[in-house]
Amino acid sequence: MSDKFKELPNWISRGLDDLFPYNVSEDPSQSFLKRLQLSYTEKTPLRVKLGIDPTGTDIHIGHSILFRKLRAFQDAGHTAVLIIGDFTARIGDPTGKSKTRIQLTKNEVESNALNYLEQLGLGKSPEDSLLDFATPGRLEIRRNSEWLEKLNLSNVIELLSNSTVGQMLAKEDFGNRYKAGTPISIHEFLYPLLQGYDSVEIKSDLELGGTDQKFNVAMGRDLQRFFGQKPQFGMLLPILVGLDGTQKMSKSLNNTVGISEDSLSMYSKLEKVPDDLVINYLTLLTDENLEELSSDPREIQKFMALKITSNFKGIEAAKKAKFNSEQLVLGIKDSLEEIPEASISKVNFPAKAFYLFSKMELCQSSSEARRQILGGGVRINGEKIEDPNIQFDSPDDLIGKILQVGKKKFLRIKK
Q: DSSP secondary structure string, 1-24?
A: --GGGTTS-HHHHTT--EEES---
Higher pLDDT, 335 or 230: 230
Q: Which of 237, 272, 304 is the last residue of a domain?
A: 237
Q: How confident is the model at residue 92 (pLDDT cuts 50, 70, 90)?
A: low
Q: Is 50 exceeded by the pLDDT of residue 1? A: no
Q: Which amino acid is at 277?
A: L
Q: What distance, in Å, lies between the first and last C-alpha atoms of the chain?
A: 50
CATH code of 9's domain: 3.40.50.620
Q: Which of 290, 305, 330 is the last residue of a domain?
A: 330
Q: Is residue 373 part of a domain?
A: yes
Residue 23 CA to residue 30 CA, distance in Å, equals: 7
Q: Is 60 exceeded by the pLDDT of residue 101? A: no
Q: Smallest Cα–Cα separation from 99: which of 185, 227, 189?
A: 185
Distance of CA 28 to the CA centre of its chain: 31
What pLDDT does residue 284 have? 97
> Domain check: are 278 and 409 in the same one?
no
Q: Is residue 321 part of a domain?
A: yes
Residue 328 CA to residue 264 CA, distance in Å, equals: 11
> Domain check: are 297 and 400 in the same one?
no
The model's pLDDT over 301-319, given as tens digits with 9 standing for 90+, comes to 999 999 999 999 999 999 9
Q: How confident is the model at residue 23 (pLDDT cuts 50, 70, 90)?
A: confident
Q: Is residue 77 part of a domain?
A: yes
The model's pLDDT over 339-382, given as tens digits with 9 standing for 90+, comes to 778 889 889 999 999 999 999 989 889 999 999 999 888 988 77
pTM metric for this prediction: 0.79
Q: DSSP secondary structure string, 72-115?
A: HHHHTTPEEEEEE-TTGGGT---TT-SSPPPPPPHHHHHHHHHH
> What is the number of structural domains in the chain?
3
> Domain check: are 120 and 43 in the same one?
yes
In terms of residue numbers, what domain contains 403?
341-414
